Amino acid sequence: MKKILVPTDFSKSAEHALKVAAQIAKKNNGEILLIHMLELPTSGNDAVSSSHDIPELMLFKNAALNKLEEIMNADFLKGINVSKVIQFEMAFDGILKSGKAHNADLIVMGSHGASGFQEMFIGSNTEKVVRNSDVPVLVIKKEDDNFNADSFVFASDFSDEIREPFKKVVEFANNFNSHLHLVMINTPNSFKSTHVAKEIMDNFTAGFKIDNYSTHIYNDVNVEKGILHFAKSIKADLIGMSTHGRKGIAHFFNGSISEDLVNHAKRAVITFKI
């Protein structure tokens, strides 16, 4: 967790994410890249090439620079190497590209969550980043001046495709001295006996060096509710999942449990791309 990307729209949610990123950076002697996206108009002439629009764009850019400078002087960022970037791009596209370009180890974002029409047809930038980012994404839901991941729930089916992203899960858990609660959610539509579920999980974990973990099998009506209910029952600090990054029609019909958790969980959520 040496290089942490933190997008900001200057909202309270973004500030909450930055405060958590600062704590992680201090713990790991890391640095923060603070990024703000200025979204360009999508209709009419090219906003960059049009001389009529350039003064207005520069006004927005200078205002954003001033806000970034103000944020970078915050007490909670003292002692941390913080750099700033402003890009003219759609927010989620710019965040994803910046994550790759700057070799970020982690993206930390704030989110209020979404519901109803917005959740189904529009979605938040955080949700889009979670769906598409190759870099782990930590989503912060509230202000937390003492962020920890002592109790870290990771929910999965523990299939072979999870093995590669699970390396990053183990690295994160070991780095934070977390107790890693590995949980398989049993649902009526995908039921496994305790014996079978335990065998799958034991075979899966045998190939990893995990400092501190336990395995759990939890029954519920669906996977999302099972994860939320289990996390609440053990008072978890953090919920983790892998995401497939579904797009287009497949995402519309199948949905994404990771994105639903980002919208509905009260706890912090971290996602790892398969």
Determine the structural domain holding residue 45 and report its residue range.
3-140
Q: What is the pLDDT of residues 46-86, one digit of tens each?
A: 444 444 466 777 777 888 888 999 999 999 999 999 999 88
Q: Is residue 79 included in any domain, yes or no? A: yes
Q: Which of 93, 114, 140 is the last residue of a domain?
A: 140
Q: Is residue 173 included in any domain, yes or no? A: yes
126 in the same domain as 246: no
The whole-angstrom separation of Cα 122 and Cα 112 is 14
Calculate mean pLDDT across residues 11-21.
94
242 in the same domain as 135: no
Q: Which of 83, 115, 140 is the last residue of a domain?
A: 140
The structure's pTM equals 0.86
13 in the same domain as 121: yes
Q: What is the pLDDT of residues 224-263, one digit of tens each?
A: 999 999 999 999 999 999 987 665 544 444 446 777 788 7
131 in the same domain as 163: no
What is the torsional sign of CA 239, 241, 245, 248? Answer: negative
35 in the same domain as 134: yes
Structure tokens at 41: 């108009």
Count up the domains in the chain and report the number: 2
118 in the same domain as 160: no
Angle at 239 (CA atoms; ends 229, 111), nearest 5 degrees? 105
Q: Is residue 116 included in any domain, yes or no? A: yes
Q: Is residue 60 included in any domain, yes or no? A: yes
Which of the two residues, 92 and 168, has the higher pLDDT score? Answer: 168
Q: Is 8 exposed, middle or buried (0-12, 13-18, 19+ CB in 10 A)?
A: buried
pLDDT on residue 181: 98
The whole-angstrom separation of Cα 72 and Cα 16 is 14
The whole-angstrom separation of Cα 98 and Cα 118 is 26
**CATH number where 180 lies:** 3.40.50.620
Q: What is the pLDDT of residues 86-124, one digit of tens each?
A: 888 888 888 999 999 999 999 999 986 554 444 333 346
